[in-house]
Structure 1
Amino acid sequence: MSVFTFATVPTIIAGPGSIARLGDAAGARLGARVAVISDDGLVRAGLVEPALAALRAGGAEVSLYTGVVADPPEAIVEAAVAQARAFGATGVLGIGGGSSLDVAKLVALLCRSEEQLADIYGVGKVQGQRLPLVLVPTTAGTGSEVTPIAIITTGEHEKKGVVSPVLLPDIALLDAALTLGLPPAVTAATGIDAMVHAIEAFTSASPNNNPVSRSLAKEALRLLGAHIETAVLQGTDLEARQAMLIGSMLAGQAFANAPVAAVHALAYPIGGRYHVPHGLSNSLVLPHVLRFNAPACSAAYAELAPCLFAHLGGSTPEQRLTGFIDGLSALPGRLNLPQRLRDVGIPRDKLSLLADDAMEQTRLLVNNPRPVSRADALAIYEAAW
């Protein structure tokens, strides 16, 4: 029997239209002055206004920061923190994709703890406490609403993570109505990102890999596999959208406790250097990392296969393994996503730089079930090119 720790969000509110309950559910917890962290596109799309209205109806004053961008740099965090401090925030609401939620986590922490961002990168470096925090995802992919992780771009290309249980929010609210306007490509890429979270959590070499995470990962894959094509191709299907949100959340809970590995380690440099969205970066390297890991993960991949591809349930273990990898290799094409690194503008002569960058992701590579050398990383990029 292994010894493990499993931590997650204390309260989850889910269901279409549940954003209207925000004031009643979270108003007292967030206090009288709420810093809302989001991005300009969501505000212009009208997706943030229901949250603002619910908070104001509960008597709260609101300060809205809309400067979050994909792969947010440190300057964005610092600007959002400065605005929240000047406002005298008593609580923080993050609404948006993973970038907005990650920034909101750090705003809640830095406004109260007074720590410096540079001092808390890594695992377990946070010393202080945070302001009350509520997170509302508008994509079904990152699972950031239930993870103790915030990823920030440092310098020109590198991404670093702040990892601490302190970053887990008080409430995660999942309302599929907020995801109905997601374009098909974003829905597809973020959905595959969630699948990667589940797969890597299930096979993580972390000493904290545990039966709770593995069970959540399998259920996440069942939901994601059954609904991703409907969510992508029939984007107004509210049932499919809500199932994707729940699947993404379950995968987030899984990898929050059994951390991800080489797919993410190789995806981060793609996003950092070429600004490829994170979910798509994962999708581009996923099949090739699966093939690399297969000698160490054949039984695990065979176990996961029927969760994602129900038709493999009656197959032999060998058939399930092959079907799992082949099915995930074909999925991006079925969802009309780019499938090769060259399709997103990455030159072949830059793959060596990507391999160098990937080897810096030691926090992630240590969790991979098969050791990854620089030569291995380069070979994976070559296969993906």
Structure 2
Amino acid sequence: MERAFDCDVLVIGGGIVGLSTAYAITRAAPGTRVTVLEKEPGPARHQTGRNSGVIHSGVYYRPGSLKARYAVRGAAEMVKFCAEYGIAHAVTGKLIVATDRAELPRLHALVQRGRENGIPVRELGAAQIQEYEPEVRGLAAIHVGTTGVCDYVAVARQLAHASGAELRYGAEVRQVDRRPGTGVAVRTRSGEVLRARVMVNCGGLHCDEIARLTGDDPGMRIVPFRGEYYELARPELVRSLVYPVPDPAFPFLGVHLTRGIDGGVHLGPNAVPALAREGYGWGVVRPRELAATLAWPGSWHIARRHWRYGTGELHRSLSKAAFTTAVRRLLPAVAESDLVPAPAGVRAQAVLADGTLVDDFLIKEGAHAVHVLNAPSPAATAALPIGREVGRRALALLGGS
């Protein structure tokens, strides 16, 4: 390799997808020099470290989609990875509960979808729900046995260590220079320049901006949605995981109950527009980022198409009583005083110009570059197979450079 290059593959983003990609590349092609740039002082500070910690079974996702294939495969691999490295995890199973008659056909459709995806699903009547969750009420439910929970921050740290990649924290990308035949040069906030033969963009909340810096049109924009959580002051009310039947119009799964690996129970998330890419509260506003979101036609199409759904989500954000009401549909014993505010997360949702919410993982390639442009939930579950796919593409570009 020419010494003019600082590394073979430069990965931008130290979340679980970026670190899994680095891990996959060094496993598939030992000796490949990989550097990971992360703007934060450590790994997994955004989507990876701010979610429910659920290992998803893949029951929701359209058969044949990347989400379905990677989640089913990734769930088994994630459990094995956690066991191998002594990372806290548990396969608890979960309930998806219908609380309204209108939800029953959608619940039955999930049974069929789960079976098409090869996932064991047990149908339950109202009385059988209490076998799994004594405090939960509903008309019917399904039990999905392969769902679990784990510590994704610990997974990310282990991937970083096991990859052998060079990790550079506090390295925010400010400029990308790409020239035919000469690879990619990246300048960080500090003024440091790194040259690589291939760049992999796993920038999460900023992935579309990094694609444009590279000179590639991502064909979408990240529209950030904040998910707000509460912790349950009486965790004994919930044994494992309890979900509502999701709205098919949205890729969000609704307010659910999750007993984490630490024994605490999280309630949430809702889904409200964030006023910044890293807008973890209503008080975090970044005018340039907000203006870019509002300038994207897809944002207005979403607002017009789904204003009624959005109004309900906003109400639950601004009213603890309304959030409690949503939880009580599944868990009638809960009181408003049982809800303790917990850290929020922000979902990097790719949106097309016509307002379509991209529902599957989205990976695109350019000259000397691979861009991961949509990797929301279940990306953490599916991190190992996603990393292999992105790594495969990067190595193919490396071989052709």
TM-score of the alignment, normalized to the shorter chain, above 0.5: no
Structure with more of its chain in strand, by fraction: 2
The higher relative CO (CA closer than 8 Å, separation ≥ 6) is in: 2
TM-score computed with the length of structure 1 as normaliser: 0.28
Q: Which has the higher helix share?
A: 1
| TM-score, normalised relative to structure 2 | 0.27
